[in-house]
Amino acid sequence: MDEGAPHYLEWDNQRRVAWIERGDPDGIPVFYAHGNPGSRLELLFFHEKAREHGFRLIVFDRPGFGKSDFVDGYPLLAFADDVKRLADELGIERFGLIGWSSGGPPVLATARHMPRRVRFVFSISGYTNFGEYEDGRKLMAAHNLYGPGLSEKHYPLFNGFVKVMRWTDLHLPNFYLKLARGDMKKPDRRILDNPEIADLFLRNQQEGMAAGTRGAIQDLETQWKPWDFSLTQIEGPVHVFQGKQDVFVPWEFARHMAATIPDAALHLYDDQGHLFPLLPAYQAELFELARCLVEHRWN
C-alpha cells in the first residue's frame, strides 16, 4: 500500500481535496501546511516523532498540488476556511497548527480566522506579510532570490522558469537534487546526505508538481503580495522558527513576524538552514514545546 495514499473529499460539488493523517490517531490534533513545491507527503517526515509524542497530524494538498484540484484564486483565508471544513468533518473542535516554508502563511491565516479553536501556531522557515514589511522584495533580491521581482515584472520568464524546474524535478530527479544541494549551505546539504531523507524530499517535491505548475505559481504569488489579513490581528501564541543559514527564506522575515505578531516568540538557529525540521532531534523539541503549550496554557 502507498504510504502517502490520500483520502478524498468532494467540496461544493466541484473540487476534490486530497488529505492524509499520520502520527498518533488518538493524539492531540494538529493541522499541517506543506511547503512549495510540496504535498501531503511531508507528513511522512514527521510521523514517527508525532506518534512518539502523542500528536495526530493532518494535512491536505493545497489546490493544484498533489492530488487536490486547482482552484483559480485561493487567498490565504481560503486555506483557513478549508481547515475549518475538514476539522468540522472530522469532529475536531480545537487543534494546533504547524506550517513549514510556504506552509507558514496559511497557518497564520488560520490562526487569524479561528482564534478560539487554535491551541498553538508554529511557523517554520516561512514568509512574512510583504504588505507589512515594505523591504521584503528588496531583501529577497539581496539574498539572490529573484522570484517576487520576476513574477511581478517579467511573468513569462518566471512562468517558464517554474515549468523548467518542474520538468527537471520529474524527469531528471538526480540532477534536480544536485542543483538544489548546490544552492544550499552545509547544514542542509548534510541533512540530504541521508539517502532516506533525500528520497522522500524528492518524492514530496515531485508529488507537489505532478499536476502542473498553476498551484505552485498561484501559491507563491499569493504569499508575495500583501495578505488578506494583518499579522497584528493574530491572537494566541505563535512560535516562529528560523535557521540563519537558510538560502530560500531570509531569516529577517522571522524577526519581523515575531516583532509584529502580538503574542509571538522567536527561535533562531545560527547553525541551521531551511531543512532542519527534517531532523528527528529538532522534531522532538518541536513536539515537546507543543505538548507544554497544550497542557500548561490552553487547558
Helix (H, G, I), strand (E, B) or coil at 208: helix
pLDDT at 157: 87
pLDDT at 299: 42
The per-residue pLDDT of the chain, averaged, comes to 94
Q: How far apart are CA 79 and CA 85, in angstroms?
A: 10
Answer yes or no: are the C-beta atoms of 104 and 38 closer than 8 Å. no
- Residue 157 neighbours by CB distance under 10 Å: 12
pLDDT in tens, 148-207: 887 888 888 888 989 998 989 899 898 889 988 988 999 999 999 999 999 999 999 999
pLDDT at 278: 96
Answer yes or no: are the C-beta atoms of 124 and 104 closer than 8 Å. yes
- Of 38-47, 81-90, 155-164, 260-269, the poorest mean pLDDT is in 155-164
